[in-house]
Structures are given as C-alpha cells and as structure tokens.
Amino acid sequence: MKGRISPPAYSGRQSAKVWDVWLAEVPFHDSTGSKLRHVLVTGHKGMDVEVAEMTSHTVRYDTDVTLLDLGHAGLDKTTVVKTRNRLTLKAGKLQTRLGGISPYDLVNLNPQLS
C-alpha cells in the first residue's frame, strides 16, 4: 500500500495575496512587544509581507480609508485602513486570513496606496 502524501505546509507569505485581510502579530512602535491586529496585505518584499494596519478608531488623517464592505473583508465592526505608514512583517507573523477587500472598497484604497 502506498503512503499518503501530505499537502505542503504554507507560510503566510506563500498564501497571502495583496488585498487580503489577516490577523497578524504586529510589533509595538517602541519595540517593547507586539499585539494581534488586523492588517491589509499591500505587497511583498522578498520573503516579507508589506501591510497597512487597520483600526476601529475613527479616521485621523486624510490618507485613512474607512471600509464599507465589512463582510467581504471578514470584519464585524467599522474599520479604518491606516495607509500612511505601512509596515514590513515576516510572513510568519501572519496568523489567520479573514477575508479580502471588495472591488468597491478597492476603488477608495487604490489612490491612497499608490
């Protein structure tokens, strides 16, 4: 009897696509620790993933974008994408894919991320 071949293990980098919403371990800005946060994948840099942080706080800057199609993104409350300062994370910091950005929200995000 032939043995079963296990499916390959995928790291966050291999399975993360641009415009995916993930829960990720994001370091604090002062490097004293980290927190599990919602992030939007905006690109790849080598083996790392470029992300924009997301928050439930209100818009603070003109570059912040409020998502309107929360269900598509896998979110359950009002969420703002902070496009001003993007982060580069190790792919292993991505924990769980929640959803993706809808075409409607992408129209609002694209100008801020280009």
Q: Which residue has the higher pLDDT, 14 or 39?
A: 39
103 inside domain: yes
pLDDT at residue 14, as a whole number: 54
3 inside domain: no
Rounded (10°) CA dihedral 39, 47, 11, 33: -50
6 inside domain: no
pTM of the complete model = 0.84
For the chain, the domain total comes to 1
Reading the block at residue 26, the tokens are 């994001």
Mean pLDDT of 86-105: 94
2 inside domain: no
- How far apart CA 74 and CA 99 sit, in angstroms, is 5
pLDDT tens sequence across 5-32 = 433 344 454 589 999 999 999 988 787 8
* Full residue range of the structural domain in which residue 36 is found: 12-113
Does residue 108 carry a pLDDT above 60?
Answer: yes
58 inside domain: yes
Q: Are 110 and 83 in contact (CB under 8 A)?
A: no
pLDDT tens sequence across 73-86 = 999 999 999 999 89
Does residue 89 carry a pLDDT above 60?
Answer: yes
Mean pLDDT of 103-113: 91
7 inside domain: no
Mean pLDDT of 54-72: 95
CATH of the domain at 20: 2.30.30.110
59 inside domain: yes
**How far from 80 is each of 22, 43, 50, 73, CA to CA, in Å?**
14, 18, 17, 12
**How far from 91 is each of 28, 41, 45, 88, CA to CA, in Å?**
17, 11, 10, 9
1 inside domain: no
pLDDT at residue 32, as a whole number: 85
Does residue 100 carry a pLDDT above 70?
Answer: yes
